[in-house]
Structure 1
Amino acid sequence: MRSSRSLRALAVAAAAALALSACGSDYPLGEEQRKAAENSTSKLEGIISGSGSTAQGPAMDAWIGGFRVLHPKVQVQYSPDGSGAGRNALLAGAVQFAGSDAYLQDEELEEARKVCGPDGALDIPAYISPIAVAFNLPGIDTLNLDAATIAKIFRGEIDAWNDPAIAGQNPGVQLPATRITAVSRADDSGTTENFTEYLHEAAPEAWPTDPSGSWPGGLGGENAQGSAGVISTVTRTEGAVAYSDDSVVDESLGTVNLKVGEEYVPISAEGAAIAVEQSTRVPGRGEHDIALHLDRTTTAPGAYPLILVSYQIFCSGYEDADTVELVKTFGQYVISDEGQQASADAAKSAPIPPTLAEDARASIESITTLP
């Protein structure tokens, strides 16, 4: 169960430790930030804390840095503890916002009313990224694979790289007989939820297991903590393969081209953006909650449907008016063209589509002070 009391207690402890930490420098971005601070007319000041998605980590660093240039007296703190930990921290009232690669589930929405007021919490799309299927096979940069083959690899049903199911999609590639080591996330992860959702919807016979933020037990392989952890494991293990936010995958690893329709589509921010444009709003949500249902079986030309839409989750209301102003100003910066460009430069993410960005701005603006 995603919202266990024990996880909630750990989230509170982690958030408390985060709140006690301070920046080592008044101007961590250096001379540019110092000059901006001296010339800034912003009167906004205070501290807000968040926790959550490791996939958002590089983008969050860019957002915090850019925001502090504009508002040098504001300190935004973020601890990349994983999406599940971030949601738990928000629902415990330990942080002001969460980063999550999965939107709040119905039980979490109900629980949010205890902390965030009668309208609960808001899922705001902030970060769009393709999920890479990355592998360590020296001399091989890309492989073509369909969803069913990927599913069988991660279930341990295909255990060697020269298996006919892989070779048949990659004529001319000299595949070794190296044993496959599938690496999954050890923590409750929105990346895992998006990856298993893709497999379940695109190849239901090969992946009958329901999507979940926790990796299914009994499948073997290895696991590691966070996006960086799984990629580190793959990098030092020849024959290994993992799923991860593309921002932490470098050129030392190969990546999979996904079969979409009759074509194999390479991983890219542009392909992720095309896939998001095929999405629809999750029904039954409040006016300002923008949880998205992603079409994992799209055949739109150029679409890369193995993606995550990572959310900034805010309360719909806060007791303190100053907190409302800080949260809204930071949230609007993240969604702005400047903020989206900062994350694209730092993390290879795709910009939020214009219509979706407009809805997100309206949702952030709706955040109010609780009576």
Structure 2
Amino acid sequence: MKIATRAGAVAAAAVLSLSLAACSASNEVAADDSSADAAATDTATDEATDAAMSFSGELNGSGASTQEKAMEVWRANFQTENPDLTINYDPVGSGGGRTAFLDGSVSWAGSDAALSEEDGEYDAAVDRCGDAGAVNLPMYISPIAVAFNLEGIDSLNMDAATIAAIFDGEITNWSDDAIASQNEGVELPDLAITMVHRSDESGTTKNFTDYLEQASDGAWGYEASGDWPNDLGESGQGTSGVVQIITSTEGTIGYADHSQTSGLGVVSVKVGDEYVAPSADGAALALTAATPAGVNGDDDLAYELDRTTTEAGAYPVIVLSYVIVCEQYDDADEAAKVTSFLEYTASQEGQAASVDAAGNAPLSSDLSDQVIAVLEGIAAASGV
């Protein structure tokens, strides 16, 4: 693995200059000097390699716990190439990450929900970043699994209206006809359902409730929100908290990034006339129905998701998770670190690494190129 940095590009240019200089002088020196020229070029190449690893100090981000597994491998890979740099990421949840970014505590935020114009977050970003404000850049696409714990049952079929009724306390027993009628041949227990949701403000919650609002034909009576809208069931802090409760308690059902629900039963949701299990391919198909929703100009790559798609194989309960960054940083060193690191995470190499670690759907090559182009523009605007 070789992660390119801007420092490396500058050093490579220096190597090229040295090589050209050596070539232009080659007709004026004795043949015996050719080995000296080669040694000089080799030395410059070694120096370029060292320069490519020139980032040092710390780079701090925080936010969505859905990105945690991907962020672990992204950080490890980038730090391998930059051993004097420490990258920290605190998976406090999307809301906490946006708050930390907007108050200047971190250089970037990970968020399963874009900045909200309605909540004044774009205006707050102007105070934090300057007149250009901040933008949302897609970085992580993943299915949200509706996960449950029932002994001997690994999968169930449910439509959105049934899921909505469970999470709003209208269906309270696993043997309810609304569940049984969609799962012929499955022996459902006469057991109370315990619903589990996030206790913190969460982009995963916002995406899940957005799915329920759009797809349940009115069975979900709430607007999409990062805060859980009722006081039913049990709650857990972060993705890990929800998964821990489901794992430890039979009869539970909750929602979490699919990469972190290993060992639990999962729901296949009704899409058109079929039931579709959560998968990276299904998430990628669902994203094709999205439409641009960015508020802060062409660089703001936020999207509105259509959860009512009936495309075969699409899985509409997805999270499109962003990194939120300033359009311009006052500190060129901070800008170089954050943009170089995020260019790696958005690259095909970085996306392949997270797919292996977290099972997410990679950014398309076109979307990857768009994100990298925005980051390069941010670096240039910041004097990098």
**TM-score per shorter chain, which class?**
0.7 to 0.9
Alignment of 1:234 onto 2:246: yes
The alpha carbon displacement at 1:130 in A equals: 0.2
After superposition, residues 138-157 of structure 1 pair within 5 angstroms as: 138-157=151-170
Question: 1:294 is matched with which residue: 302, 305, 324?
Answer: 305
Give structure 2 stretches of 5+ with no counterpart: 1-48
Q: Quote the Cα distance in structure 2 between the aligned partners of 1:46 and 1:326.
A: 10
Give the secondary-structure state (helix, strand or coil) at the position aligned to 1:355. Answer: helix
Other-structure match for 1:200: 213
Distance 1:285 1:81 in 2: 25
Shift of 1:361: 1.1
Q: Match for residue 168 of structure 1?
A: 181
Task: Determine which of 100, 103, 108 is the counterpart of 2:111.
Answer: 100
Q: How does 1:60-209 map to 2 (within 5 A)?
A: 60-106=71-117, 107-209=120-222
RMSD: 1.5
- Cα 1:139–1:345 change in 2 (3 A) is same
Q: Structure 2: how far apart are the matches of 1:100 and 1:237?
A: 29
* 1:284 positional shift: 4.0
More moved, 75-84 vs 41-50 = 41-50
Counterparts of 1:284 and 1:40 in 2: how far apart (Å)?
Answer: 38
Matched-pair contact (CA < 8 Å) for 1:40–1:71:
no
Runs of 4+ in structure 1 displaced over 3 angstroms? Answer: 38-41
Which residue of the other structure, out of 280, 284, 302, is the alignment partner of 1:269? 280
Query: Offset at 1:46?
Result: 2.9
Q: Which residue of 1 aligns with 2:262?
A: 250
Instruction: Judge conservation of contact 1:50–1:77 (CA < 8 Å) in 2.
Output: yes
Residue 40 (structure 1) shift:
7.8
2:365 aligned with 1:359, yes or no? no
Larger Rg: 2
Q: Which amino acid counterpart does residue 292 of structure 1 have in structure 2?
A: Y
| Cα distance in 1 between the residues matched to 2:94 and 2:127 | 20
1:215 aligns with 2:228: yes
Q: Secondary structure at the match of 1:55?
A: helix
Structure 2 Cα separation of the partners of residues 361 and 46 of structure 1 = 23
| Correspondence for 1:42 | 53
Does the 8 Å contact 1:134/1:249 carry over to 2? yes
Q: Which runs of 5+ in 1 are unaligned?
A: 1-37
TM-score by length of 1: 0.87
Deviation for aligned residue 1:44: 2.4
Query: Which amino acid letter does the alignment assign opposite residue 229 of structure 1?
Result: G
Aligned partners of 1:144 and 1:170 also within 8 Å: yes
Name the SS for the 1:313 alignment partner.
Answer: strand
Percent of residue pairs identical = 49
Structure with the larger helix share? 2
**3-state SS of paired residue (1:173):** coil
CA contact (8 A) 2:139 2:323 kept: yes
Deviation digits for residues 40-92 of structure 1, max 9, x if unmatched? 84222232100111111111101100111122222111111111000000000
3-state SS in 1 of match to 2:157? strand
Q: CA deviation at 1:268?
A: 0.5
Match of 2:13 in 1: none
- Check the 8 A contact 1:257/1:266 in 2, yes or no: yes
Does the 8 A contact of 1:67 with 1:330 survive in 2?
yes
